[in-house]
Amino acid sequence: MRRELAIEFSRVTESAALAGYKWLGRGDKNTADGAAVNAMRIMLNQVNIDGTIVIGEGEIDEAPMLYIGEKVGTGRGDAVDIAVDPIEGTRMTAMGQANALAVLAVGDKGCFLNAPDMYMEKLIVGPGAKGTIDLNLPLADNLTIRTAQCCGGARQTVERTDGNDSGKTAPRCRYR
């Protein structure tokens, strides 16, 4: 890959960040994300690359642009694969909080893992639960039965987050 592309790609992320910034603290994460996506796509299409989005906004989010398989760039230049997230932290942006990022990773064609576009459930437990968690069981079973087994039936504090960037407060539950 040509070295001068680094400057072009920094302009791409800068453009996305500035477009999203216009919506900082205005309570509309979808509009902020849409502005960043549009800006990133416009800038990517000006770069002399034959690019393919391999990790993008995704079909899950029903994003109209920067989806997996979308071709970007002028079509001239290096064949590259691209991973994007125009705003990593849309909820934070909408709420006027810090630390949202415009993300872009570029590599030679075929260098990225071809991962399915999906959300994941995550379960984090302390060392006392080692060997008791079964990822094939429903989350509720792991949180109640399995944690009780590992902790001798002791009262446990469990925090669950939905992980969908909805901005909802995570429920806090007590299980016996």
Q: Kindly state whether residues 99 and 35 are assigned to the same domain.
A: yes
The string of DSSP codes covering 100-111 is: -EEEEEEEETT-
Token pair listed for 48: 């002399």
User: One digit per residue, pLDDT tens: the chain, 176 residues?
Assistant: 678 899 999 999 999 999 999 999 999 999 999 999 999 999 999 999 999 999 987 666 666 689 889 999 999 999 999 999 999 999 999 999 999 999 999 999 999 887 766 666 677 777 777 777 788 888 777 777 666 666 666 555 555 555 554 444 444 444 33
In this structure, the answer to whether residues 40 and 95 fall within a common structural domain is yes
Query: Rounded to two decimals, what is the model's pTM?
Result: 0.69
* 28, part of any domain: yes
Q: What is the pLDDT of residue 125?
A: 72
Sign of CA dihedral 98, 59, 112, 6: negative
Based on the domain organization, do 21 and 89 belong to the same domain? yes
Does residue 120 lie within any of the structural domains? Answer: no
Do 90 and 59 sit in the same domain of this protein? yes
Specify if 164 maps to a domain. yes
Instruction: Answer whether residue 77 is part of any domain.
Output: yes
Q: How many CB atoms lie within 10 A of CB 17?
A: 19
Instruction: Tell me if 80 sits within 8 A of 51, measured CB to CB.
Output: yes
Domain contains 114: no
Do the domain assignments include residue 117?
Answer: no
Give the chain's length.
Answer: 176
134 occurs within a structural domain: yes
- Please tell me the predicted confidence (pLDDT) of residue 173: 40
Domain that holds residue 64: 5-108
- Judge if 73 and 15 occupy the same domain: yes
Cβ–Cβ under 8 Å, residues 104 and 87: no
Alpha helices by DSSP H, listed for the chain, are 5-21, 29-44, 90-94, 139-141, 147-150
DSSP 8-state assignment for residue 127: G
Task: Say whether both 88 and 18 belong to one domain.
Answer: yes
Q: Which CATH number belongs to the domain containing residue 54 in this structure?
A: 3.30.540.10
C-beta of residue 14 within 8 angstroms of C-beta of residue 42: no
Tell which of 108, 137, 156 closes a domain: 108
HEC sequence for 94-137: HCCCCCCEEEEEEEECCCCCCCCCCCCCCCCCCHHHCCCCCCCC
> What total of structural domains would you count in the chain?
2
Which tens digits make up the pLDDT trace of 42-82?
999 999 999 999 998 766 666 668 988 999 999 999 999 99
Dihedral (CA of 48, 53, 56, 59) sign: positive
Measured from the Cβ of residue 25, the count of other Cβ atoms closer than 10 Å reads: 12
